[in-house]
């Protein structure tokens, strides 16, 4: 199993990408996604995304917070 399959990113308007994390297990990555929301949602403009790579190397977004309207 690819130990860097699921990619979690925290970005802010002021600083761009602030934090990255990679996990092999989608279940673990989703738990981290929820945890990051609890930990970082108070940061103004924070955006958290969970993605996985496609065969062509582009990442497909699986979840994001806040959800786009």
Q: Please write the tens of the pLDDT for every residue from 13-69.
A: 999 999 999 999 999 999 999 999 999 999 999 999 999 998 888 999 999 999 874
21: which strand partners? 8
Provide the token pair at 42: 């108070």
- What pLDDT does residue 4 have? 85
Provide the token pair at 12: 């802010």
Q: What is the 3-state secondary structure (H, E, C) of 8-59?
A: EEEEECCCEEEEEEEECCHHHHHHHHHHHHHHHCCCCCCEEEEEEECCCCCE
Question: Is the CB of residue 9 less than 8 Å from the CB of residue 22?
Answer: no
Write down the pTM of the prediction. Answer: 0.88
Provide the token pair at 4: 């860097």
- What pLDDT does residue 5 have? 93
- What pLDDT does residue 3 have? 76
């Amino acid at each position: 199993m690819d130990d860097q399959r699921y990619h979690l990113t925290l970005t802010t308007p002021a600083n761009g990408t602030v934090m990255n994390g990679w996990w092999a297990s989608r279940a673990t990555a989703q738990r981290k996604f929820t945890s990051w929301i609890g930990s970082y949602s108070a940061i103004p403009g924070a955006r958290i995304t969970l993605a996985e790579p496609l065969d062509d190397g582009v990442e497909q977004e699986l979840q994001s917070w806040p959800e786009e309207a």
